[in-house]
Structure 1
Amino acid sequence: MKALNFNQDATCCVVTTAPHSLTIYNCDPFGKCFELDTRTRNNTGSNDSLDGTALDASVANEEDNGIIVQMLFSTSLVAIADRNQGVKKGKKLKIVNTKRKSTICEIVFPHEIVDVVMNRKRMCILLESDQIFIYDISCMKPMTTIDLWEDHIKSNSMVANIAENMRVQSDERNNTTRKRRNSVRSRLRPRIALSNDDRSILCYTAYSSNNNRPDSFLLNDIVVYDALNVKPLNYLNTVHKGNIACLAVSHDGKLVTTASDKGTIVRVFNTGVDMQFDSSNSLVYEFRRGSRPCNLYQLIFDRKTTKIGCVGDSDTIHIFRLSLNQDTDTAPELDSAEEELLEQNNDSSLKKVSKDHSKQLKHFLSKKIRESIPNQNLRRDFAHISMKESVRYCLGFPEEFPSQVYVAGDDGKFNVYSLPSTPGECVLMKTSIFN
């Protein structure tokens, strides 16, 4: 069994128990509410099986599950793509009404589907070809297509022999795409995240090049995109040294959180929505998950943007707390070591300036000093959950119960935990079994 994800308000959870079968469970009260077999009934191409009758009871032993599912809050609308049926089927996205148990429409794309995100206004589909298709969800009308590779080439048009490089890079991209076949959970691929509100702020990773090596690429930039009005808003450069492996956007689209393929640091940035944007001063929070590298699977904000959940292949799920009223323009207090460094950076002219100017200079130098010193004392989690390292989990923050957190695992268990009032371990309240 594989636990895929929770819907946006954590009222439902999707799991798969067979290669082409998925089940949706209500979280509270816990219980099965929908089953679907994603294959056709027979080889003649008749209608899909939507009545929950599994055609094959065998369980997949694959490391990677090729079924992609995205629910629309607590509505009956579900988007499904099944890559387990081969390349041709992996290009097809089904929009299913779970109450009527019928397929509303099918959309066929030029390449296989890697990820789907949606809210009440927009649906965004990421393909293996590094393209993002944006749809108006009310009528399933295509709005625009974003080509990450083309955008990268355009932004590096001054590179010598660009035409030849494009050909070589295109071949390399095709080879990478073939290698990524059936790797929905691969960490080396673009990432997309969409805000849950109607504003529809889309954040996606973009390719960046080393100036000294234009033929090498990293996915460590972020584009902030207005999917509602179909236009780019802001650009975040080099948010990590390595590739971005995890990405999440807050409910209102104002914050984006990221983690690299190393998985030791979690960062939170302003997207620039509803504020004057300064890309050089966009970092708001920085947390240390741990000292050892970890493959992170999920980052998630709660509805009120007060917490971030972090799930990886370690034996601990971390929950970080965000300050409710943090002034991002105010530098934190200096510790004694930083005060000493600051004094060393002051010259005799500092004594001649006014008291107010001295404070401003101190504020400026403190920021510069902090940027130049590797921070070994980053904030840690305020809550954690000890889990089995061999099991893969997904996490949800229920809007209805803000003091709780839901955890579903590939071991077939659905756990409800209560968050501690002071930093510490979450307390297990209830366990249910997926069946």
Structure 2
Amino acid sequence: MAERTNNMLFANFNQDFSCISVGTRKGYSITNCDPFGRVYTMNDGARGIVEMLFCTSLIALVGAADQPQSSPRKLQIVNTKRQSMICELLFPSSILAVKLNRKTLVIVLETEIYIYDISNMRLLHVIETTPNPEAICALSPSADSSYLAYPSPVPSPTSPLAAQSTSTQPPPPASSAHPQSGDVLLFSTRSLTVANVIQAHKAPISFLSINSTGTLLASASEKGTVIRVWSIPGAEKLYQFRRGTREARIYSINFNLVSSLLAVSSAHDTVHIFKLGPQRPASSKSIEPPSSPPDSIDSREGVQGLEGGYEAFIEKKKSGGVSSSLRRKSMQVTKSLTHSMGGYLPNTLTEMWEPSRDFAFLRLPTSGGRCIVALSGTMPHVMVISSEGYFYSYSIDLENGGECSLMKQYSLLDSGDEASSLVD
């Protein structure tokens, strides 16, 4: 996230959402999320990109375009603990994004993607892409299931690329004859081969995100009304969520660490959190209600089977009594009827009804700025970074959902980083 209206040029969460890296016109800093506090600061010139490798001391730095002494074409890998430079790399055009996991470093230029072995900084592969000025790209945080996702230059399903998705050939060079489509190319950074091509959306892709284990991909188009979740590398559509009816630019999409929730921020100054229940093909012709009431069977099933993280905070309600029994039976009958109706409806209609509504949401205290959203891996909190330089922490009701409550806000730019408590 870059913003030119204040001192902050860049901000992002690390791979496990435990830290925030910030680039400013003076330098860069690393801040811990919980407890909140600045842990490292270096004022050595403007930084347009600052990316961490989890919580290690390895940082990837790129200069800012509006600073003559700081080149946006130069990548620096530094060790903050030793205060040393590991390497410098110069690229033919401006670096638009940097992605890392424990084995792979990915550099995104407007028409090229460079893949490096992070252990020795050896160049492994170069992918030519269609013009990608927004650097739309996602890399698996997991090094064991390491996939790179980016907009495919070739439409599917008649694409020759789709036919060779299981071959050992690298993706073909992009050309002006292949305009950007709503398809996503999955590329294995381990075997350096195309793993699959996903027909994700009809409109061009606007955002991609991969979960912590490298098994799920979330996608959004330029319309920003529907978020889809796909299996990796099988490319099966597992979930489809309705962000809203009005088109909006998507600013960020992130899974929580246990892949039970998905958070989405957009230009409409709201954040939507969707619940990922038991996995099943979302392309089936069954009809789901747009959102599940807090006491419905769907809501409770979405919680079952989740392990680890802050899901332990949920205390499952004990169902009992005549009223709860009748409610369960009523829901079962309703689900049975809607499933039966789905078989008689045309595909276009079931596709229109299919997306599920958000489980929880929040409204940002300010409007007009960009923001990045993530879900804490240790507490039931939604975390937001704004382009104005603030960090917001919201509480989320993991059982009932609804509107999240703003608890605290911090400045990412002030040296004091004083907290402002917004709840009793």
Fold shared per TM-score above 0.5: yes
2:355 paired with 1:390? no
Q: What corresponds to 2:194 in structure 1?
A: 232
Counterpart of 1:23 (choices 22, 29, 34) is 29
By how many angstroms is 1:100 displaced? 2.2
1:217-256 equivalences under 5 Å are: 217-237=179-199, 239-256=200-217
2:139 paired with 1:194? yes
Using structure 2 for the length normalisation, give the TM-score. 0.72
By how many angstroms is 1:139 displaced? 1.1
Q: What corresponds to 1:430 in structure 2?
A: 408
2:108 paired with 1:126? yes
Q: What corresponds to 1:290 in structure 2?
A: 244
**C-alpha distance 433-87 of structure 1, shift in aligned 2 (>3 A):** closer
2:22–2:50 Cα contact (<8 Å) kept: no
2:29 paired with 1:6? no
Which string of whole-angstrom CA distances, capped at 9 and with x for unpartnered residues, describes residues 364-414 of structure 1?
A: 98397334555146211111111122232212222222x212112233322
Question: Aligned to 2:97, what secondary structure does the other structure show?
Answer: strand
Which string of whole-angstrom CA distances, capped at 9 and with x for unpartnered residues, describes residues 285-335 of structure 1?
A: 111111111111111111111111111111211111101x22328946458
Separation of aligned partners in 1, 2:56 and 2:104: 15
Counterpart code for 1:321: K
Separation of aligned partners in 1, 2:282 and 2:17: 33
1:14-413 equivalences under 5 Å are: 14-16=21-23, 18-39=24-45, 67-84=48-65, 85=67, 89-128=71-110, 130-149=111-130, 189-199=134-144, 200-208=146-154, 215=177, 217-237=179-199, 239-272=200-233, 277=234, 282-323=236-277, 325-328=278-281, 331=284, 333-334=286-287, 366=343, 369-373=346-350, 375-376=352-353, 378-387=355-364, 388-401=366-379, 403-413=380-390
Question: Aligned to 1:89, what secondary structure does the other structure show?
Answer: coil
Q: What corresponds to 1:355 in structure 2?
A: none
Separation of aligned partners in 2, 1:119 and 1:335: 37
Separation of aligned partners in 1, 2:282 and 2:357: 22
**C-alpha distance 188-292 of structure 1, shift in aligned 2 (>3 A):** farther
Counterpart code for 1:25: T
**C-alpha distance 83-316 of structure 1, shift in aligned 2 (>3 A):** same
2:394 paired with 1:417? yes
Separation of aligned partners in 2, 1:209 and 1:330: 20
By how many angstroms is 1:219 displaced? 3.8
The structure that has the greater radius of gyration is 1
Which string of whole-angstrom CA distances, capped at 9 and with x for unpartnered residues, describes residues 239-282 of structure 1?
A: 1122111100111222111111111111111223xxxx4x5xx2
Question: Aligned to 1:138, what secondary structure does the other structure show?
Answer: coil
Separation of aligned partners in 2, 1:398 and 1:329: 27
By how many angstroms is 1:226 displaced? 1.2
Counterpart code for 2:60: A
Question: Aligned to 1:304, what secondary structure does the other structure show?
Answer: coil
Counterpart code for 1:370: N
Separation of aligned partners in 1, 2:389 and 2:70: 30
2:285–2:347 Cα contact (<8 Å) kept: no
Counterpart code for 1:201: Y
Q: What corresponds to 1:357 in structure 2?
A: none
Separation of aligned partners in 1, 2:287 and 2:253: 30
Which string of whole-angstrom CA distances, capped at 9 and with x for unpartnered residues, describes residues 187-235 of structure 1?
A: 8545211111122121111113599xx8471242211111122222111
Separation of aligned partners in 2, 1:140 and 1:111: 19
Separation of aligned partners in 1, 2:88 and 2:287: 57
Q: What corresponds to 2:417 in structure 1?
A: none
Identical-residue share of aligned pairs (%)? 32
2:285–2:342 Cα contact (<8 Å) kept: no
Question: Aligned to 2:93, what secondary structure does the other structure show?
Answer: coil
Using structure 1 for the length normalisation, give the TM-score. 0.70
**Structure with the bigger percentage of helix:** 1
Separation of aligned partners in 2, 1:7 and 1:97: 16
By how many angstroms is 1:432 displaced? 2.2
Separation of aligned partners in 2, 1:228 and 1:23: 31
Question: Aligned to 2:17, what secondary structure does the other structure show?
Answer: coil
Separation of aligned partners in 2, 1:122 and 1:317: 30
RMSD: 3.0
**C-alpha distance 80-367 of structure 1, shift in aligned 2 (>3 A):** farther
**C-alpha distance 216-364 of structure 1, shift in aligned 2 (>3 A):** farther
Which string of whole-angstrom CA distances, capped at 9 and with x for unpartnered residues, describes residues 322-377 of structure 1?
A: 01x223289464589xxxxxxxxxxxxxxxxxxxxxxxxx9898397334555146
Separation of aligned partners in 1, 2:387 and 2:71: 25
